Amino acid sequence: NAGVMQNPRHLVRRRGQEARLRCSPVKGHSHVYWYRQLPEEGLKFMVYLQKENIIDESGMPKERFSAEFPKEGPSILRIQQVVRGDSAAYFCASSPGTGANEKLFFGSGTQLSVL
C-alpha cells in the first residue's frame, strides 16, 4: 500500500529551463495538494486539485507555474523558465476527502535546485 510518491527526489535545472515535478497520490485519493518549502521556512500552500480540475490555485505564482491532475496518471507541477528563487522543496499531499477529519498524506518531496 504505497503512500504518496514523488519523483524525482532531486532535480537540478539551469536558469531558463523547465522543471516538471510528478506526484502519484495514495491509491484511491482524488484530492491533491502542492506545497512549497523555501529554506528555513514552513510549507506554503500552492494549489489544490481534484481529478481534471483546479479547485484552488491561490498560492500559485501568477506566471511560469502550472499544475494539472489528469484523469489518468500523476499530478504534475510545471515550472517554466526557472529562476534561482524557485529553488525549494516541493511537497505533494493527498487525501481521500475534504472533511476536517480526513488525514493528509505527504510525499517525501522533490528538491529543486536551480543553477
Partner 1 sequence: AQSVTQLDSQVPVFEEAPVELRCNYSSSVSVYLFWYVQYPNQGLQLLLKYLSGSTLVKGINGFEAEFNKSQTSFHLRKPSVHISDTAEYFCAVRFNGQGAQKLVFGQGTRLTINP
Report the alpha-carbon distance of residue 70 to residue 39 in Å, rounded: 30
Residues 70-109 that bind partner 1 (CB under 8 A): 91, 93, 95, 98, 100-104, 106-109
Burial class (CB in 10 A: 0-12, 13-18, 19+), 72: exposed
State the nearest-atom distance from the C-beta of 28 to partner 1, in Å.
16
Verify binding: residue 40, partner 1, rule CB under 8 A.
yes
Residues found near partner 1 in the complex (CB under 8 A): 4, 6, 31, 33, 35, 40-45, 48, 55-56, 91, 93, 95, 98, 100-104, 106-109
